[in-house]
A and B are shown apart, each in its own frame.
Chain A
Amino acid sequence: MRELTYSEAIREALAEEMARDPSVFLIGEDVGVFGGVFGVTQGLLDQFGEARVLDTPISESAIIGAALGAAMMGMRPVAEIMFGDFLPIAGDQIVNQLAKARYMSGGKANVPVTVRVTTGAPGSAAQQHSQSPEAWFMNVPGLKIVTPATPADAKGLLKSAIRGDDPVLFFEHKMLYAERGDVPPDPDFLVPFGEARLAREGAHITVVAIGGMLRHALRAADQLAEEGIQLEVIDPRTLVPFDLETVVRSIEKTGRLIIAHEAHKRCGAGAEIAALIAEEALDWLDAPIVRVAAKNVPIPYAPALEQYVLPSAEDIVAAAHKLALPLRIR
């Protein structure tokens, strides 16, 4: 093992898959000469050349559509959409074409398209550059939704996405790019979809922490441990498919559930997870499910407003305190 940043882990996954399979190529805005607005694809143009690292015009719809068409003809494109906020510009190509191509063609179309896209608020980027749109697409059957929270998962999940034959929306949280962590050097290191990771064991409250919220959940867990409240932190890693079993197993132990995500609360991924738990594991719950999420307003520019709207480690601590109250009574 060696330490890499989340950003380096993604770059390594891209380079390894491009070296391994000549049908893998990159397509997106400023992915080549500029090296990606967040620097993730730096050096790949030099390594693989212009024929496989394609800088495009500012044309999100054409980027996704071209990736889809090339995939149907046997290529394995990795498209980049700079900000998740811009996904709706390619809305038809994602929702009506990419997601449905396999099903509506009766299985004739193979759709190995990976869409790398950034998510989350980087701080004072305001309404159109701060959103977390994962759940917009969870309601669209045909798409797989991946939310890596660590460098190792970023690498292993991205490789699984590229090697897989289904369209994947791969959400990279902007605030995680500089995070460091151990990453296995094995070029065949893959993280399978639909397997959550137990990020921290604990007896009292289960926290399902998505993407950028994982680090906040772990910080909250450290803080609460000092008071004797143990959080069990689960990183689902993929939202579609979702590893319900791991969450249920944890709730059987804790009886309490917090779901934390940076997306807005209303109809965020937490709504679906809470519904699944209500359907499958209500009997195990000793307290209402609590969602820690962004408030239902657009993400504001001013730091004072933005911090008020976005969920934080402190919000997880407060939610845990609320749930821990009956614990103490017992």
Chain B
Amino acid sequence: MITDLTGLTPELLREMYRRMVLVREFELRAIAERRIGLIPGFIHASIGQEASAVGVGMAMRPEDVFTSTHRGHGHLISKGGDVARMMAELAARATGYCGGRGGSLHIADFALGSLGANGIVAGGIPMAVGAALAFAMRGEERVAVSFFGDGAANQGAFHEALNLAGLWKLPVVFVCENNLYGEGTPQHKQAPLADLALRARSYAFPGVIVDGNDAPSVYRAASEALERARHGLGPTLLECKTYRWHGHYEGDPQVYKPTGEQQEWQARCPIVRLGAALVTAGVATEADLEAIREAVRAELDEAVAFARQSPQPQPDEALMGVYAETHGGKVF
């Protein structure tokens, strides 16, 4: 498989590589820290899928927004997420993105355009359509992106949201990260078609299939879809073909994966692949890449230290923030 770097600047490519490494290392570190007790909740790792998150995230403009999923660390990092506040949220600290209230499943950063990860499969898709509706109503040149998995494409919410977006030609890009599994059930046992991008035809907008392990391909396809949306041409369904290397959650024994399948996909590691392409093209040397990896590890050491040193939230803080107005405490 050849990685085509056409049209991407060396700076962008190196940053693409850095962000993919950051996603991978963030998750590996979180998994390790969870094992030794820093993180109380579940982790759904996106290891192996970094190219789809980073390819799309880097194609977005700062003013664009996105909805994310239970497997959402990469989505936020790809748009510039602060790994220290993410790690602190996973560690349930007051300094975390949501003050320790939400954990990995609910990280949101409105300043960076993240409307939130989500614990409900397909829960974020209609919301992205609503964000796009707001942009269209106000005539803003902004786009809403919705990340979701192959499993989510079988929810009513997916179909209702795509229909509405197609009908009203809203500025939204639907990014289906097809990693071949929804929890323990393979994609071919969840839908009678392998190419979920075909579903866009029912809603009268383009469905595009892209190699989800090739960040430059994802970047180009996402850029095109974002531009279409930005210029009033309506939605796109972008299907990124990829694979999840880890369990559905950390600790999942993965009895459902056929032998050999994972090895095959690991041989197509999106990070190794981009790194090799950068070296071949003379965009970076092996030493440059090692320096990037080194810097990422140092950044994560700091993130973990920040999380460790951060205070736990005060128990009675739990009562705050349910409503915008509390009517003198009467809402309780």
Q: Which A residues contact B (CB, under 8 angstroms)?
A: 29-30, 33-34, 37, 55-62, 85-86, 89, 123-129, 295-298, 300-309
Q: Are B41 and A124 interface neighbours, CB within 8 A? A: yes
Q: Are A34 and B185 interface neighbours, CB within 8 A? A: yes
Q: Are A302 and B256 interface neighbours, CB within 8 A? A: no
Interface CB pairs A-B, < 8 A, 21: A33-B185, A33-B255, A55-B189, A58-B122, A58-B152, A59-B156, A85-B120, A86-B120, A89-B156, A124-B40, A124-B92, A126-B101, A126-B103, A129-B105, A295-B332, A300-B102, A301-B40, A302-B313, A304-B92, A304-B100, A305-B313
Q: Are B319 and A37 interface neighbours, CB within 8 A? A: no
Closest Cβ of chain A: how far from B138's Cβ, in Å? 30
Q: Secondary structure at chain B's binding surface: helix, strand, loop or mixed?
A: loop
Q: Does B154 have its Cβ within 8 Å of any Cβ on chain A?
A: yes
Give the residues in chain A near B157, CB-CB below 8 Å.
89
Q: In this complex, what residue of B is CB-closest to A310? A: B318
Known: A89-B156, A302-B93, A304-B314. 4 other contacts (CB 8 A): A58-B121, A297-B318, A305-B317, A307-B315
How far is it, in angstroms, between the C-alpha of A101 and the C-alpha of B120 when the chains are bound?
28
Give the residues in chain B near A129, CB-CB below 8 Å.
105, 119
How far is it, in angstroms, between the C-alpha of A276 and the C-alpha of B151 when the chains are bound?
44
Cβ contact of A302, chosen from B118, B122, B312, cutoff 8 A: B312
Q: Are B154 and A58 interface neighbours, CB within 8 A? A: yes
Residues from 105 to 156 in B contacting A, C-beta threshold 8 Å:
105-106, 118-123, 151-152, 154-156
Q: Are B191 and A33 interface neighbours, CB within 8 A? A: no
Q: Are B318 and A309 interface neighbours, CB within 8 A? A: yes
Q: Are A61 and B156 interface neighbours, CB within 8 A? A: yes
Q: Does B245 have its Cβ within 8 Å of any Cβ on chain A?
A: no
Q: Are B156 and A30 interface neighbours, CB within 8 A? A: no
Give the residues in chain A near B123, CB-CB below 8 Å.
128
Closest Cβ of chain A: how far from B150's Cβ, in Å? 9
Closest Cβ of chain A: how far from B163's Cβ, in Å? 16
Counting chain A CB atoms within 10 Å of each CB, the highest count among B122, B123, B156, B255 belongs to B156
Q: Does B184 have its Cβ within 8 Å of any Cβ on chain A?
A: yes
Give the residues in chain A near B103, CB-CB below 8 Å.
124, 126, 301-302
0/1 interface trace, chain B 80-101, chain A, CB 8 Å (1 if under): 0000000000001100001011
Known A305-B313, A307-B315; contact A59-B41, beta-carbon cutoff 8 A:
no
Cβ contact of A308, chosen from B184, B185, B315, cutoff 8 A: B315
Q: In this complex, what residue of A is CB-closest to B100? A: A302
Q: Does B322 have its Cβ within 8 Å of any Cβ on chain A?
A: yes
For chain B, the bracket of interface size reads 35 or more
Q: In this complex, what residue of A is CB-closest to B119? A: A128
Q: In this complex, what residue of B is CB-closest to A123? A: B40
Q: Are A33 and B106 interface neighbours, CB within 8 A? A: no
Q: Does B190 have its Cβ within 8 Å of any Cβ on chain A?
A: yes
Q: Are B41 and A295 interface neighbours, CB within 8 A? A: no
Q: Are B256 and A308 interface neighbours, CB within 8 A? A: no
Cβ contact of B155, chosen from A58, A300, A309, cutoff 8 A: A58
Give the residues in chain A near B155, CB-CB below 8 Å.
58-60, 89
Q: Does B306 have its Cβ within 8 Å of any Cβ on chain A?
A: no
Q: In this complex, what residue of B is CB-closest to A36? A: B184
How far is it, in angstroms, between the C-alpha of A288 and the C-alpha of B79 when the chains are bound?
55
How far is it, in angstroms, between the C-alpha of A57 and the C-alpha of B73 when the chains are bound?
24
Q: Are A57 and B191 interface neighbours, CB within 8 A? A: yes
Q: Are B119 and A300 interface neighbours, CB within 8 A? A: no
Q: Are B40 and A304 interface neighbours, CB within 8 A? A: no
Q: In this complex, what residue of A is CB-closest to B318? A: A305
Give the residues in chain A near B154, CB-CB below 8 Å.
57-59
Q: Does B42 have its Cβ within 8 Å of any Cβ on chain A?
A: yes
Q: In this complex, what residue of B is CB-closest to A295? A: B319
0/1 interface trace, chain B 232-260, chain A, CB 8 Å (1 if under): 00000000000000000000000110000
Give the residues in chain A near B322, CB-CB below 8 Å.
296-298
Q: Does B206 have its Cβ within 8 Å of any Cβ on chain A?
A: no
How far is it, in angstroms, between the C-alpha of A305 and the C-alpha of B89 when the chains are bound?
13
How far is it, in angstroms, between the C-alpha of A37 and the C-alpha of B42 when the chains are bound?
13
Q: Are B119 and A34 interface neighbours, CB within 8 A? A: no
Give the residues in chain B near A34, CB-CB below 8 Å.
183-185, 255-256
How far is it, in angstroms, between the C-alpha of A305 and the C-alpha of B151 when the chains are bound?
32
